[in-house]
Structure 1
Amino acid sequence: MTPATRRRTSLAAVVLLMCCFATGTSAQPIGAMKVDTVYDISFNGLSIGDFQLNTNMGTRDYSMTAKANISVLGGMVFEWKATTRSSGTVTAGGPRPSAYSFAYQTSDKKEQIDLKFTSNTVSQITLNPPRGSSSKRIPITQTHLQNVLDPLSAVVQLSQARTQKQKSSACDKRLQIFDGKARYDLVFSSKGTKQLDESGYKGVAYVCRVKYVPIAGHKAGKKDDENELAAANDNIEIWMIPVPDADIFIPYYISVPTSVGKATMTASKFDLTLPSQVKKSVIN
């Protein structure tokens, strides 16, 4: 494996953490709710940054803003900053996104993605800079843009725990996602439970296996393509913990092992403001 491939592999692991897993809130119209979450990002046991997410849930709509900062040796080796936003409406069947944006920058590169949705179908895609064409890339068709969620809205769906079935099956889900460049599914299945007693939380965590299934937009058969690397990884985990007062699950710990090390995100803060305006710290 070349140094360039190792860098792509490690960065892909961290990006997969942030773009695919961020705390959401229940998709039921239950009243205004606010969630503020902070995750510590580590690679091979070394802290390299943080991921902050602010979610505002109204009675009929939601908005989410996430910011990530990654720095190795004070930015001398590597620095990566990203901002993600999503907004939409809340229905009994789940979130319906209306707009999504993702922007990142490094010392020598930056990119902006903007999506518009109509009835869970992508109606507008803006990439800056435009994506280059490739005959090796699986084409994205209009069918791929239907009945999909953006990465942040997808986790609003993931976190629901309103019904008894949802409460008892935190890991039994399949999310259909389009992020502006790739169409993929995230398939969750149970690996059991763990008992936690740390960071202010004492109780059960549901351990889910996460399988990344590329659908379109990736270069099939290209071994160092980020989507192919993620698809070949059978050891991605996410630990979900319940918040009964809000009828939601929240991701506590996310792990993405790679051939060059393990990327993890661990919740260090989770503050929840309920519709009654009561503030609750689940993790602190």
Structure 2
Amino acid sequence: MRASLAFLAAFAASVLAAAAPASASSSFDATYGIWLAGFPVGEADVNSTYDGRRYRIDVQARLVGLAGLITDGRGAASATGRVSGERVAPASFAVNSASSKASRTVRMGLSGGSVSAVEILPPLPEHPDRVPVRASHRRGVVDPVSAFLFPGRGRLAMDDPGQCERTIPVFDGASRFDIVLSYAGTRQLDKPGYSGPVLMCAARFRAIAGHREGKEAVRFMEENRDMAVWLAPVEGSRTLLPLRIEVRTQIGTSVIEAQRVSIDGGGVARAAAR
């Protein structure tokens, strides 16, 4: 449950880059709903700012309803860094997840795409089957929050299928993995805050290091073909807004979907002009 909260918070924070054109300051607020096997189980509030170069993201996630009564689950995540064209350059990352039974905090500093410092409290237990994290695994990476910033690719139109085609190298302080995206289709979406085309990107998980080799949960995620993210072009910017993510888990499909979106205190994301 703690790992799920951290993942959900990280995904919810992916909305930052979509909030701001690359040349202007912007603020962004959103609420994401979280469902598991068709039942509402949580919410995540996102607050982010962007001054044209530097970003900051703050996320608060919590379980609700029966799930919240059982585990009192909650999580918080934050990240800072810069966006330059297609390149995301994180500077700091922190996440705290807690339940009624335990909690864990991860803090990480990055510079030039490489990890400079990591603190995990309490430390992860030692396991002989854990794949060692080498120095090379800490280079050319992004943190889990910054991993889901979606600057537009090159000169492609923002609704071009090629916007889905990317591999994101992620390091969360303990594990190194890739998120591999590919185009799966386009659909029209009409909901409060957005009306227009949505790119449906299939997602795959690829473990690199730090995981426990042969662990059932890792094998399940690597073989999982039921993962997707929906990306919407944002008017006036070279950015994409993640509106929905779907992940099949071992206990049912998890869905995270934007319920409320506010840009600069009142604006909402709209279809990019064609």
Which residue does the alignment assign to 2:131? 138
Which of these residues, 187, 198, 208, is aligned with residue 201 of structure 2?
208
Q: 1:118 corresponds to which letter in structure 2?
A: S
Segments of 5+ residues of structure 1 without an aligned counterpart are 1-7
Which residue does the alignment assign to 2:152? 161
Classify 1:124/1:89 alpha carbon distance in 2 versus 1 (closer, same or farther; 3 Å): same
Query: Does structure 1 residue 106 correspond to structure 2 residue 134?
Result: no
Q: 1:32 corresponds to which letter in structure 2?
A: S
TM-score when normalising by structure 2: 0.89
TM-score when normalising by structure 1: 0.86
Partner Cα separation in structure 2 for residue 108 and residue 39 of structure 1: 25
Q: What is the alpha-carbon root mean square deviation over aligned residues?
A: 2.2
The structure 1 segments of at least 4 consecutive aligned residues displaced by more than 3 Å after TM superposition are 11-18, 26-29
Deviation at residue 279 of structure 1 after TM alignment: 4.3
Deviation at residue 33 of structure 1 after TM alignment: 1.4
Which of these residues, 222, 229, 254, is aligned with residue 215 of structure 2?
222
Which residue does the alignment assign to 2:140? 147
Deviation at residue 48 of structure 1 after TM alignment: 1.0
Partner Cα separation in structure 1 for residue 67 and residue 85 of structure 2: 45
Partner Cα separation in structure 1 for residue 205 and residue 211 of structure 2: 12
User: What fraction of aligned residue pairs are identical, expressed as a percent?
Assistant: 24
Classify 1:228/1:259 alpha carbon distance in 2 versus 1 (closer, same or farther; 3 Å): same
- Pairs aligned (count): 266
Which of these residues, 16, 20, 25, is aligned with residue 24 of structure 1?
16
- Per-residue CA shift, 1:175-212, capped at 9, x if unaligned? 00101121001000011111112224221111110001
SS in 2 for 1:196: strand
Classify 1:137/1:18 alpha carbon distance in 2 versus 1 (closer, same or farther; 3 Å): same
Deviation at residue 16 of structure 1 after TM alignment: 3.7
Q: Aligned runs of 1:1-284 on 2, under 5 Å?
A: 15-20=6-11, 22-25=14-17, 29-73=22-66, 75-156=68-149, 159-161=150-152, 163-165=154-156, 167=158, 168=160, 169-223=162-216, 225=217, 227-273=218-264, 279-282=266-269
| 2:42–2:63 contact (8 Å) kept in structure 1 | yes
